[in-house]
Every structure is written in structure tokens, then in C-alpha cells.
């Protein structure tokens, strides 16, 4: 579908809500313990959340200028293709399809299973299968028709903000535990890089609003404002939630509780029944985020297959005649995600996802320099503030994350790079067939 066929109905408020809704999911509830354990104390943990927010904000400010100059549906994929050419666009889409999308879906499924089992006191060995069932259930819902997935998404997005606001307000007011300088009690090696990487999983997803740029009333102005406003709101919420958790639970308790720390804090604040309700609200938040990924990620291989830039394009470009959904593309993404769930844990999958996508984020950030040289200046369009400092911060953050991941998880980075490079011969095979 071309941009001229899309109805331009999305305004600033809706676009900002998309940013917030696609970012806030599992990370704010699943990652505090990881961050505190990696930094060694509560003060450095809060600093890691701030650093992650600054990197994300600099990234958003930079991408906002790129999006203003390329206000087309497709997000990161289309930015890379327009600036660097079809080959790099293919590799970007390949990585998002084969690594990033399935790893995100798999991690969210595993987080959902862990929290579900914790809330309802189920055996630990049930976590994996609960996660797989959740992924399969949402896949079926979204394959039966996007309207069903859309209804689920609307309800769950509204519900997800409630536990966040309640934990922030009551945690700050009723908590009495010292917030700063508290030891984590963890014996693991201190790694600020691993901590910031964990926060970036929580911040990730803001670029997804670019997928609907072609449906915005004035994308050149609306998209930059929505990205910046959404990231600022999310950054405030994340730091505030961590302050609230640290005011209710000791740092070492949060590390020991792991993914159940927010549920325990809710029980302390609201009693057993209230705590259970908040915990279910958190579960709904993760379920809603998972639904959003299952709904949107298959659109990437669908778009590539429609352009005949994906293996077996004749199948993956098909839309079901009755359900009007990309069934084959969805099945492929879910199959890879389930394999990842069986082979790796949730935190490992999040590291793989962030590393793989940040490789191409770096290309997108550098694109702002190339676009300023190649395209004439238009003062009416958004321009990144504090240029070139802000894009340099985004690029430095990208380099920091990539190097930290290489040092923190060398095997995972090696596998990610191998899968990325595997796209090169596939690209040349596909283009040769097209020419033949």
C-alpha cells in the first residue's frame, strides 16, 4: 500500500500515545533488579536509568529530523533504504525480521510467563509454557483479523498506565526506605554497560511510531513532536517508578525478588488484595505490549516480501483472503520467537534484540549529517537542537552499547552478527532472481 492510499488521520495526541504505548511494557517492571544488580548500589542504578533516558532522548531528537525529511511509512527500514540504498535497507529489514522482532516477542512471552507463575504460585517449570501459550494465543487473535488485535491493544494500553501511576504516587508518599547509597547485595561483577543496556530494553520501541508516518495529518511536524514528548514522559515515569520501588523495598530485596519486585512493592503498599490487583495490572501491561509486537512486527517481512526482497516472497507477501492478515509472515515470526524462547532466557533475548537493532540505529543517527549535506535547508521543518552535539551523543551512546554488549555477551553478539551477515548472500540471490 502506498502513502497516497493511506488515510491521514493521526494527530499529535494519538502519535504521542503510540510512542508511550509501544515503549511501556515489560522493561519498567522486569529490569530494576537487573540494573541494581549490575551497578552494585541504588544510586548508580538510578544513574543508569537517567543515562539510558539521555541516550534515548538524544536518539529521538536526532531521528526526529530524519523523520521530518523522510515522512514515510516504514520507520527505521525506510530511513536506512532512502539514505544508504536498497542493500542496507534489506539488511536492516532482515535483522528486524530474523533477530529483533522474534527476540522481542520471545522475551515478552517469557516475562509474561514468569510473572503469571509468580502471581498465581505456579511451578517455575510452567513459566516457559505459559509464555509460549500467550504468544500462540495472541498470534491466533491477530491472524483472525487486525481489528481483534486492535481492540485488545486499545483496552490493554489504557489499563497499563494505572499500576505505574499508583506505584509512583503511593511509593513516594508511603515508602520509608532510604533511596540512595543502598548496596545491592549482589555478588556479580559491576558493569554499568550491562545496566544501561538493560534500561534501553525498557526504553526501546519509540521508533515504531515511524511505521504510521504515512497516516499522520502532518508527519513532518507531528512525528518529531510526538517522539520527543513521548520519550520525555516515559523517561520521567521510569525514573519515578524506580525511586518509588527503592523507597518501599531495599536494594538487595529488589535484586532477590527479581521480576516479582514490583508485585511485592504493591502488596506492601496496598495489602494482599490490592497488591494482587496491581500485579494483575502489570501482567496486563506486558500482555498488551506483547500483543502490539505480535500485531506489528510481521508487517516488516510482509513489506519486504511485497517488494520481492525476501526469500519465498510469494508466500510471505500473501494476505489471507478472509481474515485480511499476513498469516504466513506472522507464523514465521512466531516460529522463530518460540525457538528463541526454548533456547534462551528473557534477559539474554533482550540483550540480543537491543544489540541487533542498535547496529542500524547508528546508521540512522549518522544519516542526519548526510541529509543536511544532500538536501536543502528548510527552516519550517524540525531541526535537531544543539547540532551536532545531540547526534554525536546518540552515536556515542550507540557505540557504548555495542561495545558493552560485545564485552558483556560475546557469544550472543557473535551469533547476531553471523545472522546479520547471512543476509548478504540471500540479498544477492534474490536480486539475481529478480533480474533473471
pLDDT (average), residues 284-312: 79
**pLDDT at site 378:** 61
Whether the pLDDT of residue 83 is over 50: the answer is: yes
Eight-class DSSP state of 27: H
Q: Is-contact 215 73, C-beta < 8 A?
A: yes
Q: How far apart are CA 93 and CA 254, in angstroms?
A: 37
Q: What sign does the CA torsion over 106, 112, 113, 118 have?
A: positive
Q: How far apart are CA 406 and CA 401, in angstroms?
A: 9
**pLDDT at site 330:** 86
pLDDT (average), residues 1-10: 46
Helix (H, G, I), strand (E, B) or coil at 421: helix
pLDDT (average), residues 22-37: 84
Long-range CB contact pairs, 268-276, < 8 A, 24+: 269/166, 269/167, 269/170, 269/171, 269/174, 269/175, 270/166, 270/170, 276/119
How many CB atoms within 10 Å of residue 386?
11
pLDDT band at 257 (very low <50, low <70, confident <90, very high): confident
* Cross-strand pairs, 216: 10
Whether the pLDDT of residue 56 is over 70: the answer is: yes
CB-based burial of residue 53 (10 Å sphere; 0-12 exposed, 13-18 middle, 19+ buried)? buried
Least confident residue range of 248-252, 327-331, 335-339: 327-331
Percent of the chain scored above 70 by pLDDT?
A: 88
pTM, rounded to two decimals = 0.80
* Cross-strand pairs, 41: 183
Least confident residue range of 104-108, 148-152, 231-235, 299-303: 148-152
Query: What are the tens digits of pLDDT across the range 186-218?
Result: 767 778 888 888 898 888 877 766 655 555 677
Between 68 and 370, the higher pLDDT residue = 370
Counting every residue written for the chain, the total comes to: 436
CB-based burial of residue 383 (10 Å sphere; 0-12 exposed, 13-18 middle, 19+ buried)? middle
**pLDDT at site 435:** 67
pLDDT band at 338 (very low <50, low <70, confident <90, very high): very high
pLDDT band at 301 (very low <50, low <70, confident <90, very high): confident
* Cross-strand pairs, 10: 216
What the block records as the C-alpha cell of 104 is 522481542
What the block records as the C-alpha cell of 164 is 505505574
pLDDT (average), residues 404-416: 84
**pLDDT at site 311:** 79
**pLDDT at site 5:** 42
| CA distances to 6, 249, 263, 277, 278 from 272, in Å | 48, 16, 10, 9, 10
Eight-class DSSP state of 260: G
* Cross-strand pairs, 183: 41
pLDDT mean across residues, the chain:
82
**pLDDT at site 369:** 93
Helix (H, G, I), strand (E, B) or coil at 344: coil
**pLDDT at site 4:** 35
Query: Mind giving me the DSSP string for 97-146?
Result: IIIIHHHHHHHHHHHHHHHHHHHTT--GGGHHHHHHHHHHHHHHHHHS-H
Give the right CATH number for 12-379+386-431 from 1.20.1740.10, 3.30.930.10, 3.30.2270.10, 1.20.1070.10. 1.20.1740.10
**pLDDT at site 1:** 36
The three-point CA angle 283-357-305 to 5° equals 95
Q: Is-contact 211 296, C-beta < 8 A?
A: yes
Q: How far apart are CA 366 and CA 279, in angstroms?
A: 41
Residue 272, C-beta contacts closer than 8 angstroms, at least 6 positions apart:
none
pLDDT band at 408 (very low <50, low <70, confident <90, very high): confident
Q: How far apart are CA 306 and CA 77, in angstroms?
A: 14
Query: What are the tens digits of pLDDT across the range 271-296?
Result: 888 888 878 888 888 887 888 788 77
**pLDDT at site 2:** 37
**pLDDT at site 187:** 65
Between 235 and 297, the higher pLDDT residue = 235
| CA distances to 67, 175, 362, 382 from 370, in Å | 14, 50, 13, 16
**pLDDT at site 377:** 64
Whether the pLDDT of residue 382 is over 80: the answer is: no
Whether the pLDDT of residue 21 is over 60: the answer is: yes
Highest mean pLDDT among 192-206, 402-416, 417-431: 417-431
Amino acid at each position: 500500500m502506498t502513502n497516497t492510499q493511506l488515510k491521514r488521520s493521526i494527530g499529535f495526541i494519538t502519535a504521542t500515545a503510540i510512542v508511550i504505548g509501544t515503549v511501556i511494557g515489560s522493561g519498567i517492571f522486569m529490569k530494576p533488579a537487573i540494573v541494581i544488580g549490575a551497578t552494585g548500589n541504588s544510586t548508580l542504578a538510578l544513574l543508569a536509568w537517567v543515562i539510558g533516558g539521555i541516550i534515548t532522548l538524544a536518539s529521538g531528537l536526532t531521528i526526529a529530523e530524519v523523520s521530518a525529511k523522510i515522512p514515510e511509512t516504514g520507520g527505521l527500514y525506510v530511513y536506512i533504504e532512502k539514505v544508504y540504498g536498497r542493500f542496507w535497507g534489506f539488511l536492516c529489514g532482515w535483522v528486524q525480521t530474523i533477530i529483533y522482532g522474534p527476540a522481542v516477542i520471545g522475551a515478552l512471552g517469557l516475562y509474561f510467563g514468569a510473572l503469571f507463575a509468580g502471581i498465581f504460585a505456579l511451578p517455575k517449570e510452567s513459566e516457559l509454557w505459559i509464555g509460549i501459550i500467550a504468544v500462540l494465543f495472541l498470534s491466533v487473535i491477530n491472524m483472525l483479523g487486525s481489528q481483534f488485535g486492535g481492540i485488545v491493544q486499545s483496552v490493554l494500553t489504557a489499563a497499563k498506565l494505572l499500576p505505574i501511576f499508583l506505584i509512583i504516587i503511593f511509593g513516594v508518599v508511603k515508602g520509608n526506605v532510604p533511596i540512595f547509597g543502598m548496596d545491592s547485595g549482589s555478588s556479580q561483577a559491576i558493569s554499568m554497560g550491562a545496566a544501561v543496556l538493560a534500561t534501553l530494553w525498557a526504553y526501546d520501541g519509540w521508533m515504531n511510531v515511524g511505521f504510521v508516518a504515512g497516516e499522520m495529518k502532518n508527519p513532518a511536524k507531528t512525528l518529531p513532536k510526538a517522539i520527543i514528548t513521548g520519550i520525555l514522559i516515559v523517561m520521567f515515569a521510569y525514573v519515578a517508578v524506580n525511586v518509588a520501588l527503592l523507597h518501599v523495598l531495599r536494594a538487595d530485596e529488589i535484586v532477590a525478588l527479581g521480576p516479582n519486585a514490583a508485585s511485592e512493592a504493591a502488596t506492601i503498599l496496598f495489602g494482599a488484595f490490592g497488591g494482587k490487583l496491581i500485579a494483575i495490572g502489570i501482567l496486563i501491561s506486558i500482555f498488551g505490549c506483547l500483543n502490539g509486537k505480535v500485531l506489528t512486527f510481521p508487517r516488516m517481512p510482509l513489506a519486504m516480501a511485497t517488494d520481492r526482497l525476501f526469500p519465498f516472497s510469494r508466500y510471505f507477501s500473501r494476505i489471507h483472503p478472509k481474515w485480511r492478515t499476513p498469516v504466513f509472515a506472522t507464523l514465521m515470526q512466531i516460529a522463530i520467537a518460540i525457538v528463541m524462547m526454548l533456547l534462551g532466557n528473557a534477559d539474554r533475548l533482550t540483550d540480543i534484540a537491543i544489540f541487533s537493532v542498535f547496529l542500524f540505529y547508528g546508521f540512522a543517527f549518522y544519516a542526519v549529517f548526510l541529509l543536511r549535506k544532500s538536501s536543502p535547508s528548510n527552516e519550517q521543518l524540525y531541526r535537531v537542537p544543539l547540532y551536532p552535539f545531540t547526534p554525536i551523543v546518540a552515536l556515542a551512546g550507540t557505540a557504548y552499547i555495542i561495545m558493552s554488549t560485545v564485552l558483556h555477551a560475546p557469544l550472543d553478539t557473535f551469533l547476531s552478527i553471523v545472522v546479520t551477515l547471512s543476509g548478504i548472500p540471500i540479498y544477492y540471490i534474490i536480486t539475481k532472481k529478480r533480474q533473471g
